Amino acid sequence: MTTQPDGLPVYRVLTGPDDAAFCHRVSEAIRLGYELHEGPAVTFNGERVIVAQALVWPARP
């Protein structure tokens, strides 16, 4: 695929609790063709770990 699907932006940041649902969201974005942009950011909100992962649509020559 050479263009991002369904009008999604070239740059995306997914956030949420560090759980299976978040991992599935990131995995789905990778399956669509997005690539990870560096490592995740992780914080603790007093109850659980919250993760943010940036993804980019790869530039194709």
Look at residue 8 and tell me if it is in a domain.
no
Look at residue 10 and tell me if it is in a domain.
no
| Structural domain boundaries, residue 25 | 16-44
Taking the C-alpha atoms of 16, 17, 20 and 23 in order, what is their torsion angle to the nearest 10 degrees? Answer: 40
| Rg of the chain (C-alpha set) | 13
The predicted-structure confidence for 7-24, as pLDDT tens digits, reads as follows: 889 999 999 999 999 999
CA distance 27 to 34: 9
Look at residue 9 and tell me if it is in a domain.
no
pLDDT band at 2 (very low <50, low <70, confident <90, very high): low
Q: Give how many domains the chain has, as a whole number.
A: 1
The predicted-structure confidence for 32-44, as pLDDT tens digits, reads as follows: 999 999 999 999 9
Look at residue 53 and tell me if it is in a domain.
no
**44, two tokens:** 């603790």
Shortest CA distance to 11 belongs to which of 57, 48, 44, 42?
Answer: 57
